[in-house]
Amino acid sequence: MASLQPSPDPIKQDHSFEQPLSKSAVDPEKGLSPDHTNDSKGHQADCAHSGAKESVYKGLGWLDRLLALWILLAIVVGILMGNYVDGIEEALQKGKFVQVSVPIAVGLLVMMYPILCKVQYETLHLVFSKRAVWIQLGFSILMNWIIAPFLMLALAWAFLPDEPGLREGLVLVGLARCIAMVLIWTGLAGADEEYCAILVAVNSILQMVLTAPLAIFFLRVISGSTTTIQIQYSVVATSVGVFLGIPLGAAIVTRFAIRAINARWYQDVFLKWIAPWSLIGLLYTILVLFASQGRNVVHQIVSVVRVAAPLIVYFFAIFTFTLFVTHKLGFGYKLAATQSFTAASNNFELAIAIAVATYGPNSDQALATTVGPLVEVPVLLALVYFVKWVARRRQWED
């Protein structure tokens, strides 16, 4: 992926995904660390020496080199459009696809497809044969389905004790584990994209099974909500099926079909051609999100700020805690960063779909879930730069 290609920096070594993973390639201590050749250690040592002098910034393409600027512009332009372009909110929200506006749905699908095309599906059976990978999956499940939801619940009560609607919306955000944008943040941070795709697949399966009962448990049993909560499994399954199933299925078909004809062309030409579309899809999605919610941001600024405060604390807390724990456990940089971004990211499209279907589009719960991505995007982008800075400062390598 051209726009997300790792630089020569020691914390961003190339995965070489197109080389088949042999048994020796899957390091039992580091999961998916791609040390495919006998001279890789010497190569890493050379990179460590030169990488200290070469800025990661210089190794990036123009699109992700100025990504912070593009995202800021998309946010500002979106808010201005939402407030000064007549009828834009209604136009963007007119068409719905599994309770999410069609323009946003299109952006999410475009954003995920190029990344999923990079995954070596033909070698995943070798990955799952290693015990270390199952340990990594167990750690991810603990962080995503126990630690993160309870942290969000605690923060929701701490910041919004007098706003049950906004509080319930935050709880839904905490229960919806990310299956989309986390792939972007992982790639930008130079983490393990292939392993991230595995975590996304596992979280998607667990989402269809656990989201509905956990929502009832967190909202009714723990929080004592008097609102009748009827979260249908079909809503969750449809959301996951659309926003993961469509791009994943398309990526698998594309990869096997084109590689069967010309594997080298697929790797050298096709992947580089579709690579920028991930960030283009991200910027487009951000623009549409803020354009469709720009009026709410301005006219309900108090509610937005009150919801944003616990979200900011949540993203920083769960990310830094996961990063600290994985570092203490001896994880390499790529796996640690992947685990941290997976724990901190949330499936906002699912949270919005559940809130709208359960409480209505104009409810406080729907507003809270909508604020989620507006806060998540700039905060997670900041964490991308933060984790790369930490890794360089501490010389954290795989």
- Give the tens place of pLDDT for each residue, 141-191: 999 999 999 999 999 999 999 999 999 999 999 998 887 788 889 988 999
Question: Which of 7-11, 259-263, 282-286, 360-364 is predicted most confidently?
Answer: 259-263
If one compares 40 and 284, the residue with the highest pLDDT of the two is 284
Amino acid 161: pLDDT: 93
Amino acid 158: pLDDT: 96
pLDDT at 136 over 60: yes
Least confident of 2-16, 101-115, 369-383: 2-16
Alpha carbon distance 236, 244 (integer Å): 12
If one compares 318 and 242, the residue with the highest pLDDT of the two is 318
Mean pLDDT over 316-342 rounds to 94
If one compares 42 and 140, the residue with the highest pLDDT of the two is 140
pLDDT at 20 over 60: no
Q: Each residue of 39-77: b (16+ CB within 10 Å) or e?
A: eeeeebeebeeebeeeebeebbbebbeebeebbeebbee
Task: Name 100's bridge partners.
Answer: 97
pLDDT at 324 over 90: yes
Least confident of 15-29, 127-141, 173-187: 15-29
Q: What spatial distance separates the first Cα and last Cα of the chain, rounded to whole Å?
A: 21
If one compares 258 and 8, the residue with the highest pLDDT of the two is 258
- pLDDT tens column, 74-84: 889 998 998 89
Q: Which helix (H) or strand (E) holds 302?
A: helix 301-328
Amino acid 26: pLDDT: 42
Contact 200, 339 (CB under 8 A): no
If one compares 378 and 5, the residue with the highest pLDDT of the two is 378
Q: Hey, CA dihedral for 128, 334, 18, 10, is it positive or negative?
A: negative
Encoded amino acid at 8, one letter: P
Average pLDDT, the chain: 80
- How many C-beta atoms surround the C-beta of residue 172 within 10 A? 32
User: Which residue ranges form the domains of the chain, and what is each CATH number?
Assistant: 66-394 (1.20.1530.20)
Amino acid 61: pLDDT: 60
Amino acid 225: pLDDT: 63
Alpha carbon distance 339, 144 (integer Å): 9
Place of tokens 């080298």: 264
Task: Report which of 147, 170, 146, 144 is spatially closest to residue 158, judged by C-alpha positions.
Answer: 170
| 3-class SS of residue 61 | coil
Least confident of 15-24, 50-59, 339-348, 361-370: 15-24
| 3-class SS of residue 303 | helix
pLDDT band at 48 (very low <50, low <70, confident <90, very high): very low
pLDDT band at 29 (very low <50, low <70, confident <90, very high): very low
pTM above the 0.95 mark? no
Task: Report which of 174, 198, 54 is spatially closest to residue 116, judged by C-alpha positions.
Answer: 198
pLDDT at 30 over 60: no
Amino acid 170: pLDDT: 94
pLDDT band at 269 (very low <50, low <70, confident <90, very high): very high
pLDDT at 9 over 80: no
